[in-house]
Chains A and B, each alone.
Chain A
């Protein structure tokens, strides 16, 4: 027995449009909408039209042919293979906004180094690639993480590729920032080996802790190490002496070996934390 003049109430249509209606009421409403032009028409009026309008407005301005973005163009000019350039172009940390944030942090740190002591710069600069690498891999940072995980290209290779790119980009900016400490000579580059060691250690801890927690743990460890090796005066910061730099080089070699041994652990994670569901696809 049917009631041909029955229609879905407005409130239920609104909940249907907002995705809040649960089965089986959802199915019934769905089935009714397929056969009822009136209700479909009312559905359009109760649904929020703004996203649709905005989408059409953007559509008009887009070109049809794919044109590489600035990062990809730069990488291609530097001789990077086109498929590698495309993989790197998807790295969030290589976007201009991120690089601008790194540059700003370095400028502020150099200013502080001038006001306090040059060693401030050496202490802060190693943390920048650590943050960058943590923000370029994993389910929370990479919207295509799950697709990449089950692709034949090994996840470890993709992670290394991105990490090298992030380390390279932040290192170039940090070297430029080091020029702001002309009186400090080559010691102004003392951040590099700690940066490399911290990044490698963070990567080695990633399969167990995840990229963010690994970076936080390593960052805190760096602070503790600095506090323990920074006696009375900043001029005696042992990590940035010749002996300290040799120790850092050894740490790099050790962590690189550890990371190499752990590479199979990147192939299948223990679990995949569900990323926030925003309906028709996530963006990053």
Chain B
């Protein structure tokens, strides 16, 4: 893999917009990505997957300027150049269940133009070893656990040692232990290449990402280091024994007490904010099902 030269952005997007009929999926989205892991946070329907698909050359924007790895994906030669240096893990990746892990990654390697059998098989073994599935490469996909399947999908994305890796919610459906292992894996992948990680897990962003982009209703609400996202909630996070009305968000935490964001309820104590608090300051989570506000 040849990483993008220092200072050269892996992705530079300016005022990207996309509509699906009357629905605005993205509205003037601008962002810049360099080497390392960049987190993409946002509630369901915020436009994360649409943005990732555009950056991965699966969709074209209606408007805006876009450069990925130095190429314009709106032209056919530009798309091909990007695709040859891209690794993409779509949301809920699909598998051919009768394939083994080896055969599935081999199939993706062929799609990535690795037609020489011996070289291709060597590459397949390399990426399966990278994700820790060396011993399971002969197992059928349908016999693997959810976490292992996700690793197979990541291995497929890693074929050809891509310079840009786009991962759309890779930790969805994994239990806490598997998510921790996945976190270690992604942290390693971010060394020497640009990784864009879409996630619902604010903790993933804090642990892994140099920068974070918060998307809501198709617009960028924040772009910067995770610490700056945390800082947005300074002096706005409180704890108390009862649920508060009229705050931005109020919910019972793992301690059994209530946590409030916004103006202080009576008798509440000020807390140091977390990245979740900063995120909740920005997005309309009340639209999501089950959020106790």
Give A contacts to B, CB under 8 Å.
1-3, 6, 8, 19-36, 40, 43, 52, 55, 58-59, 62-66, 69, 81-83, 86-87, 89-90, 95, 142-153, 158, 264, 267-269, 271-272, 274-275, 277-284
Contacts and interface: CB of A to CB of B under 8 A. Distances in A.
Contact of B138 (A27, A66, A69, A153): A66
Interface of B: 20, 49, 53, 56-60, 76, 79-80, 83-84, 86, 88, 90-100, 102-103, 106-108, 110-113, 115, 117, 120, 137-147, 149-150, 153, 156, 172-176, 180, 200-203, 239, 249, 251-257, 269, 276, 280, 285, 288-292
A268 B252 contact: no
Contact of B95 (A86, A146, A269, A282): A282
Contact of B176 (A33, A148, A282): A33
Nearest to A90: B96
30 contacts: A1-B239, A1-B257, A3-B255, A6-B256, A23-B276, A25-B252, A27-B276, A29-B254, A58-B140, A59-B144, A64-B138, A66-B103, A66-B138, A83-B115, A86-B110, A87-B107, A90-B107, A143-B96, A146-B90, A150-B88, A151-B83, A152-B80, A264-B76, A268-B79, A269-B59, A272-B58, A275-B94, A280-B147, A281-B94, A281-B95
B254 A52 contact: no
Contacts of B175: 43
B251 A25 contact: yes
Given A1-B239, A27-B202, A151 B143 contact: no
B143 A34 contact: no
Nearest to B55: A150
Nearest to B88: A150
Given A66-B106, A150-B86, A268-B58, A280 B285 contact: no
A87 B110 contact: yes
B79 A153 contact: no
B176 A30 contact: yes
B156 A28 contact: no
Nearest to B56: A150
Contact of B76 (A30, A32, A55, A267): A267
Contacts of A83: 110, 115, 117, 120
B254 A152 contact: no
Contact of B98 (A69, A145, A152, A280): A69
A156 B17 CA distance: 27
A234 to B, nearest CB: 43
A283 B112 contact: no
Name A's interface SS.
loop
B176 A34 contact: yes
A61 B174 CA distance: 25
Contact of A152 (B112, B249, B280): B112
A95 B290 CA distance: 43
Given A65-B138, A149-B58, A283-B97, A22 B111 contact: no
A284 B97 contact: yes
B249 A58 contact: no
A117 to B, nearest CB: 41
B92 A275 contact: yes
Contacts of B288: 22-23
Contacts of B115: 81, 83
B59 A25 contact: no
B251 A28 contact: yes
A26 B239 CA distance: 18
Given A55-B145, A147-B156, A149-B58, A24 B108 contact: no
Contact of B137 (A35, A64, A142, A277): A64
A24 B280 contact: yes
A151 B112 contact: yes
Nearest to A29: B254
A86 B142 contact: no
B102 A267 contact: no
B255 A1 contact: yes
